[in-house]
Structure 1
């Protein structure tokens, strides 16, 4: 590769020398010095080029030849940085074709440095962009142990801070081979859960590591190589590395370069270094005049190797070296040489009096100072033969463009890279990546992008919970709590649903909350409503029976008017349950408890009146009793009206001060909207129930006291049982009512109303109906007075 870079420079210089429009009548020359990737050698070569002597004398130019114009190089940032510091002191233009470290953009430290490769920050941004594109959030970094590797790693870390990509490990690859360090890196790769590894390393340094990866058959890893090694055929020549993604400098097909390479020959190409060595390398022969063979006996030469004759033809070879269409770094070298030539041309074409220096002076092309050429280098702007514009920005950087390559294995078993995309940061943000996913080939022939994550993605309905002490890419997936959702993959938090919505079972969508109230359309509402209506017919039927048999002793004996009124009240008691069913509105909320309270107070007042009348009637039969004047309907009517009026006053006060109202209650069940009646004043509610309980208790006590009266007045026993049932029902109602919520709380109250009403009906009226309908033989005055007899005969 490096030899082809050298040929690109020579080709560009020869092409410029043949161009009559560029530097006319001026011939460019060149000197070549190999840095061997060593800083000391690079500095030594720079001083040799500056001073013109192999034993350099600092601050002296010991040559009478034409001045040194510029230095093209070096390739690696590790050697370019110290070279740029040195050359910057003398203001010699230095144009690198491969050094991408971002630090070299600092004009204060490196005032004379230029490059035809994108700066390190662009490369770091490109790597980060690719990691995000492939969804690789858990990556490792292998960087060369140089200033370039260190600074490039720092730049990449800074770029990854703006993404969700985490670094699982970061290690430096030694520039001088160390088996211990290489084995440590291999062991780290094997043990790490990272499946995507970024290589920021020159091919010479990373090669031992990749050879060990191949030797140990490490699979399941995806590699992303930086521009310094991505196109290296020495590294990516094994099926384990197929699918490697790489950043590569922009490629071009340099016109005429292919023919130039094919015409290279040690006998005809003058002043072209390394051609003999290159010839031996590509043909596998040896020149007879090399040192190796000078000491080797002639009879043994044929046994070891064939000899080069010079008649070999490069056109017979099929190697990538001659593929000018794949020129990448060589294209950068070509542009760097032309940039220096155009700077010289601008200096050469300066007109006296119009020059950029003092008093409009110009520089002499045959004797100029480096700082004078530096002025022109900063303003270089031209189009090359391919029509691409070449220029340097204020920091000496070139176009921010990278090609994206992918290493494939051909059907013949060869390994080659193909272009699959481009990163052009001249385009608007978000559109800089142009990618062809269908052209990708992954290791093992897979078409699906390999995964490299510390934790599997959290599906919608879950949120990420970072593990303590680990990077943010390592997390657990926790299901969103009720009422919260996450509708995206890898949500960091769950969103709370609006008040009138709730999360579905998958916790990935907010759905309207179900509205709950005791409805006529549901089974429970239908049963309670039907029961209420059906049961209301029973007291109505009994009333009709009492009216029909109103002249019989059993009806007349127990204050039939109060019985009529009580039966009507019981009809209303059953029917008032209907107000509790259906969606609560303002009217029904105000009528529910008040209607129920007044009707039941009225019913119990009737029972109390009947009980008191039984006691008065029995006592009035005694001689000289003063209660005879109280026997009559006035007393019973007064008791009923006064007792009921007290309940009416309580209810009216309740409605006037703090009436019940409908409300949407979400506290008992957050997933539902329970539409219920807020009682307004809970004090008034319990006062209403308490007064009703007081009436029932008084009726029970009075009836209990009167339970042993003669048989003709046995209604006191019936009332005692009815009040016992009534009080038991409502005492049980209180804990049941307080422990339920929503529609079931309403159902409990309806059940209590039905049970207590049924208890009154059964205990007070069913025995009388039994006598009226089934035992008319005992429905006589004599029997009721305890003087008659009856028979069980039919």
Structure 2
């Protein structure tokens, strides 16, 4: 039986970026990985909040937000799509945290932080929220659906397609974009056969997506007489069990070719483990969702261990005008975007200070350009 956590809603949800309109789309994204939910609950009316420690910033994920802002701007400029009406948005950062995702979902409905279930604090029209885009993982999508489905607000999930997601929610399942992974499996198999790599290790995240990948890729490998050296579920973050680390590294060291399927969050522990254990000489084959750029390591270190990595990317069409839009983004252009200053501070290496475990970012040059 699945366990449902209980927690207090007396702490404000993460602040959001809001733009009003006749209709409003919600957006729940994950821009960083933190130490987890730091709340000490003494009773229902007494909760102590300790600011989370930021483990890693995923600045690339800020493009998810910008893509949504770009699309809404394009829609609002087109007089044919929404005649004499406008589309707004309310964007939250949920930090890969299921509890924050749940709170933010309630805040989208109530218009208040801390959120008030079954109530709305908006003075304007209350049925503006027409849909929510969000859910970079099955666990987060499930938490969002538990709230939104109660109020029949459709959810569009942009995480990798998971056929089990519909069975995890009781009312309304999220809309998912089906991604055909058969080409990925076939491409990996052809690569292994071309280089005669017949002894291959598999590393996946400990979730349903990992299970499905293991099942499908193992069947493909067997049909082509390729051997699975090991199949391991990588230690999830945060994982403090040294046994998980030791077992995984022991297998990786003695296997030249390793297929790693997952995203950056799934493998946050894997890259430092490989570097600390000085595991060199492996060929890593990954999917496009895993990249090592945001990790707090010197680039030369990353190239030492992953310089021979091969990544399979999906073929996608270019979004017309999006590159020019990205080049034009600046804090001065979007003064109400509370997330852009964080991204600017990281990309342009502005000083970062810590006070009481909370990160404080200094103000950056406002005229910088993402084209650099």
Unaligned runs of 5+ in 1: 293-305, 319-794
Once the 2 structures are TM-superposed, how far is the Cα of residue 17 of structure 1 from its aligned partner? 0.9
Note closer, same or farther for the CA distance 1:44–1:148 as it changes in structure 2 (3 Å cut): farther
Q: Deviations over 1:700-742 (max 9, x none)?
A: xxxxxxxxxxxxxxxxxxxxxxxxxxxxxxxxxxxxxxxxxxx
* Correspondent of 2:369 among 309, 314, 318: 314
Counterpart position of 2:272: 211
Once the 2 structures are TM-superposed, how far is the Cα of residue 272 of structure 1 from its aligned partner? 1.6
Contact residue 280 and residue 304 of structure 2 kept, 8 A: no
Contact residue 139 and residue 166 of structure 1 kept, 8 A: yes
Contact residue 345 and residue 362 of structure 2 kept, 8 A: no
Counterpart position of 1:260: 325
Contact residue 102 and residue 151 of structure 1 kept, 8 A: no
Counterpart position of 1:434: none
Once the 2 structures are TM-superposed, how far is the Cα of residue 269 of structure 1 from its aligned partner? 0.7
**TM superposition score normalised by structure 1:** 0.34
* Correspondent of 1:195 among 256, 262, 266: 256
* Correspondent of 1:5 among 31, 52, 64: 64
Root mean square deviation, CA, Å: 3.6
Counterpart position of 1:184: 247
Once the 2 structures are TM-superposed, how far is the Cα of residue 196 of structure 1 from its aligned partner? 1.8
Contact residue 35 and residue 42 of structure 1 kept, 8 A: yes
| Equivalent-residue separation in structure 1 for 2:172 and 2:188 (angstroms) | 28
SS at 1:29 equivalent: strand
Higher strand share: 2
SS at 1:25 equivalent: coil
Counterpart position of 1:170: 231
Higher helix share: 1
Counterpart position of 2:308: 243
**Aligned pairs (5 A) from 1:147-546:** 147-173=208-234, 174-178=236-240, 180=242, 181-190=244-253, 192=254, 194-229=255-290, 231-234=291-294, 237-286=302-351, 308=363, 310=365, 312-314=367-369, 318=372
SS at 1:30 equivalent: strand
Once the 2 structures are TM-superposed, how far is the Cα of residue 72 of structure 1 from its aligned partner? 1.2
SS at 2:267 equivalent: helix
Once the 2 structures are TM-superposed, how far is the Cα of residue 114 of structure 1 from its aligned partner? 2.5
| Equivalent-residue separation in structure 1 for 2:85 and 2:316 (angstroms) | 30
| Equivalent-residue separation in structure 2 for 1:155 and 1:62 (angstroms) | 48
| Equivalent-residue separation in structure 2 for 1:28 and 1:203 (angstroms) | 32
Q: Deviations over 1:568-617 (max 9, x none)?
A: xxxxxxxxxxxxxxxxxxxxxxxxxxxxxxxxxxxxxxxxxxxxxxxxxx
Q: Deviations over 1:333-359 (max 9, x none)?
A: xxxxxxxxxxxxxxxxxxxxxxxxxxx
Once the 2 structures are TM-superposed, how far is the Cα of residue 122 of structure 1 from its aligned partner? 6.4
SS at 2:90 equivalent: coil
Moved over 6 A (4+): 105-110
**Aligned pairs (5 A) from 1:530-609:** none
The structure with the largest alpha-carbon Rg is 1
Once the 2 structures are TM-superposed, how far is the Cα of residue 36 of structure 1 from its aligned partner? 1.3
* Correspondent of 1:137 among 185, 189, 198: 198
| Equivalent-residue separation in structure 2 for 1:86 and 1:132 (angstroms) | 47
Once the 2 structures are TM-superposed, how far is the Cα of residue 268 of structure 1 from its aligned partner? 2.7
Note closer, same or farther for the CA distance 1:128–1:54 as it changes in structure 2 (3 Å cut): farther
Contact residue 144 and residue 175 of structure 1 kept, 8 A: no
Contact residue 102 and residue 152 of structure 1 kept, 8 A: no
**TM superposition score normalised by structure 2:** 0.68
| Equivalent-residue separation in structure 2 for 1:259 and 1:134 (angstroms) | 40
| Equivalent-residue separation in structure 2 for 1:154 and 1:86 (angstroms) | 32
* Correspondent of 1:37 among 96, 104, 108: 96
Once the 2 structures are TM-superposed, how far is the Cα of residue 2 of structure 1 from its aligned partner? 0.9
